[in-house]
A and B are shown apart, each in its own frame.
Chain A
Amino acid sequence: MQRIGDAPAVRRGLIAVALLLAGLFLLLPLVAIFAQAFAEGVAVFWTNVSDDYTLAAIGLTLFVTVLTIPICLVFGVALAWLVTRFDFPGRRLLQTLIDIPFAVSPVVAGLVYLLLYGRNGWIGGWLDAHDIQLMFAWPGILMVTIFVTSPFVARELIPLMQAQGSREEEAAVTLGASGWTLFRRVTLPNIRWALLYGVILTNARAVGEFGAVSVVSGAIRGETMTLPLHLEQLYQDYNTVGAFASAALLALLALFTLAAKAGLEWRTARQEVSP
């Protein structure tokens, strides 16, 4: 059957325009990152990447990300379970509240944490008196990272779990399954891909967060500099190649994220065809 836009001329024209635009606005920046990173050769790139400060930044970034993911995962699953399996007053409100991190500019997110936990904040004052330091140390970076990444897992799970409904789970309960078994055997297999997708998004954002982290980091070289902050400092230091070397690492991670996501989509699509 002939469908709208199937005429060969229209088709070719639209594909050409789409590829051209995508190439210009998406592919070109990506190519530029790597071109800049390797502008002075592989050796210089390697020197920059294996620099002590860069390694420390990579270490901190990974450390914060590794801690962020499980926390967001537990919260996301709990929240999704709560709002899709039970009806209670305030359900809608709760669902809107988790969007706060999307509405708050990251700089403001960092600021509100600083105002609360900094030396002059009402919790921070107490902490300072007891010699506990959260801001300007890795716990502060972790806290704001959790804040900005908290909606991702829940947002992926809620529509899916809503669509799937709870009949399977109810049946399992009738058959006498306990809570944990129910979750592990019935719910988890149904949501695992969405869950993984949520983790991938969380991971991408946690690794790349700049605005919020820059406010609470304190920028101590080798101590509280994450990779995006380190990149910015190198850029400020006239070390364009070094900055883009770090940018290339982050871009590489982004590409890995995209590949993982594409892989997941492909699997899900296959599952839909042959359930």
Chain B
Amino acid sequence: MIRHPRLARPLLAIALGAGLAAPAMAAERELLNSSYDIARELFAAINPEFIAHWQETQGEEIAIQQSHGGSSAQARSILQGLRADVVTFNQVTDVQVLADDGLVAEDWQQALPNNASPYYSTTAFLVRKGNPKGIDGWEDLDDEGVEIVFPNPKTSGNGRYTYLAAWGFAEHQFDGDEEQIQAFMRDFLGNVVVFDTGGRGATTSFIERGIGDVLISFESEVNNIRGEYGSDDYEVIVPPVSILAEFPVAVVEENAERNGNQELARAYLEYLYAEETQRLLAGFNYRVHDEAVVEEFAEQFPETELLKVEEVFGGWDAAMETHFASGGLLDQLQRR
């Protein structure tokens, strides 16, 4: 059971006055997981499992709290003092920011298997039924008249992956010819009709508002959307070439130490690699590493060539610097 929000505290405070309200009397140990904004349902499913698992193996009753928001905004909050014990982000850079500040161990990517990324995904397309614009891959997205919806790469990690995936495709396609790549990217970005600040905002624009011909988001997300809104109205297209999107996790050492949660935090993250959790993750349409689960779900995930940010862009730092920094390529490409 997820810990019940403590409604009693504020209400009690109203009755007794502010002075008595301040000390929060936690009955049980609490772990705060700071996560990206589209992972709410995912962790709402994982947390009860882990709580039961911990109770079984350690005989201790714990509670897990969730904070969700844009991955960068979440990292910023932690830098400014949000006392999260663990982070489960969708952006390597956002964990790196914490590591640079000393809040997360320097070698965090080695602390857990697969670059500390228990699951991964890629970017995929959601189109309207029958795929009226005939969109099968990135090469169809710079065509005139194709309306694209994806979140703003400036404010959203999801948006950055989409941008990098398109660039990676173009580099592949045009054999590294910078001029052609940029022309493709310019047309591609020019086709974007709404730049929402986050992934969910983009979904709302595409689904609820009926804007655009194609929504680009994580494969997991577009599959979940199709599940949510019915396979009769939408189709998922996984392009043959796309990008590897890692979902890095780390213990925020300084906070975990302060909260006395170090082993609990580590156990929580390790639990994400357990077979039953990996199965749960696959159920949410994330690609996983556990071999038994991979086999089970093989049909669900089409084979795709996944480009790595490290290989195509020389790592996240370089990608941020060249593409997303103020005055970088993204800014230049959007200039009119």
Complex: A in contact with B (CB within 8 Å): yes
Residues of A within 8 A of B (CB): 52-53, 55-56, 59-60, 62-63, 66-67, 114, 118-121, 124, 128, 131, 133, 135-136, 138, 218-223, 233, 235-238, 240
Closest A-B pairs by Cβ, 3 of them = A222-B5, A118-B80, A56-B5
**Chain A residues whose C-beta falls within 8 Å of the C-beta of B13 in the assembled complex:** 63
User: Are B228's CB and A238's CB within 8 A?
Assistant: yes
What's the minimum C-beta distance from B230 to chain A, rounded to whole angstroms? Answer: 12
- Chain A residue at minimum C-beta to C-beta distance from B13: A63
Interface residue tally of chain B, by bracket?
35 or more
- Chain A residue at minimum C-beta to C-beta distance from B65: A220
**Chain B residues whose C-beta falls within 8 Å of the C-beta of A120 in the assembled complex:** 79-80
Given contacts A236-B201, A237-B40, contact A221 B10 (CB under 8 A): no
Pairs A–B under 8 Å by Cβ, sample size 27 = A52-B7, A53-B5, A55-B5, A56-B5, A56-B7, A59-B9, A63-B11, A118-B80, A118-B81, A120-B79, A124-B81, A128-B81, A133-B81, A136-B82, A218-B77, A220-B32, A222-B3, A222-B6, A222-B65, A223-B5, A233-B40, A235-B204, A237-B40, A237-B200, A238-B200, A238-B204, A238-B228
User: Are A67's CB and B5's CB within 8 A?
Assistant: no
CA distance A52 to B201 in the complex (A): 25
Residues of B within 8 A of A (CB): 3-7, 9-11, 13-14, 18, 21, 32, 37, 40-41, 65-69, 77, 79-83, 198, 200-201, 203-204, 207-208, 228, 258
User: Are B68's CB and A62's CB within 8 A?
Assistant: no
CA distance A275 to B201 in the complex (A): 55
- Chain A residue at minimum C-beta to C-beta distance from B199: A236
How many residue pairs bridge A and B at CB < 8 Å?
91
User: Are A114's CB and B80's CB within 8 A?
Assistant: yes
User: Are A66's CB and B14's CB within 8 A?
Assistant: yes
Which of B10, B32, B80, B81 neighbours the largest number of chain A CB atoms within 10 Å of its CB?
B81
- Chain B residue at minimum C-beta to C-beta distance from A220: B67
- Chain B residue at minimum C-beta to C-beta distance from A59: B10
- Chain B residue at minimum C-beta to C-beta distance from A218: B82
* Extra pairs beyond A135-B81, A233-B40 (19, CB < 8 Å): A52-B7, A53-B5, A56-B5, A59-B7, A59-B9, A62-B10, A63-B21, A66-B14, A119-B79, A120-B80, A133-B83, A136-B77, A136-B83, A219-B67, A219-B68, A221-B66, A222-B3, A237-B40, A238-B207
What's the minimum C-beta distance from B122 to chain A, rounded to whole angstroms? Answer: 22
User: Are B5's CB and A52's CB within 8 A?
Assistant: yes
Given contacts A135-B80, A240-B208, contact A218 B67 (CB under 8 A): yes
**Chain B residues whose C-beta falls within 8 Å of the C-beta of A118 in the assembled complex:** 79-81
User: Are A52's CB and B198's CB within 8 A?
Assistant: no
CA distance A138 to B21 in the complex (A): 10
- Chain B residue at minimum C-beta to C-beta distance from A115: B80
CA distance A136 to B81 in the complex (A): 7
User: Are B80's CB and A124's CB within 8 A?
Assistant: yes
Which of B18, B32, B41 neighbours the largest number of chain A CB atoms within 10 Å of its CB?
B18
**Chain A residues whose C-beta falls within 8 Å of the C-beta of B6 in the assembled complex:** 56, 222-223
**Chain A residues whose C-beta falls within 8 Å of the C-beta of B208 in the assembled complex:** 240
User: Are B81's CB and A119's CB within 8 A?
Assistant: yes
Which of A67, A114, A119 neighbours the largest number of chain B CB atoms within 10 Å of its CB?
A119
**Chain B residues whose C-beta falls within 8 Å of the C-beta of A121 in the assembled complex:** 80
What's the minimum C-beta distance from A174 to chain B, rounded to whole angstroms? Answer: 39
- Chain B residue at minimum C-beta to C-beta distance from A57: B5
What's the minimum C-beta distance from B101 to chain A, rounded to whole angstroms? Answer: 9
CA distance A218 to B81 in the complex (A): 9
Given contacts A114-B80, A236-B37, A238-B203, contact A221 B68 (CB under 8 A): yes
What's the minimum C-beta distance from B207 to chain A, rounded to whole angstroms? Answer: 8
CA distance A67 to B16 in the complex (A): 12
CA distance A62 to B77 in the complex (A): 24
CA distance A121 to B80 in the complex (A): 8
CA distance A26 to B223 in the complex (A): 38
CA distance A120 to B68 in the complex (A): 22
- Chain B residue at minimum C-beta to C-beta distance from A142: B18
- Chain A residue at minimum C-beta to C-beta distance from B5: A222
User: Are A60's CB and B10's CB within 8 A?
Assistant: yes
What's the minimum C-beta distance from B239 to chain A, rounded to whole angstroms? Answer: 25
User: Are A59's CB and B65's CB within 8 A?
Assistant: no
What's the minimum C-beta distance from A50 to chain B, rounded to whole angstroms? Answer: 11
CA distance A120 to B65 in the complex (A): 24
CA distance A223 to B83 in the complex (A): 13
User: Are B200's CB and A67's CB within 8 A?
Assistant: no
CA distance A7 to B77 in the complex (A): 62
Which of B3, B6, B10, B83 neighbours the largest number of chain A CB atoms within 10 Å of its CB?
B10
**Chain B residues whose C-beta falls within 8 Å of the C-beta of A56 in the assembled complex:** 5-7, 10
Given contacts A56-B5, A220-B32, A220-B67, contact A236 B198 (CB under 8 A): yes
**Chain A residues whose C-beta falls within 8 Å of the C-beta of B41 in the assembled complex:** 237
CA distance A149 to B83 in the complex (A): 28
**Chain A residues whose C-beta falls within 8 Å of the C-beta of B7 in the assembled complex:** 52, 55-56, 59
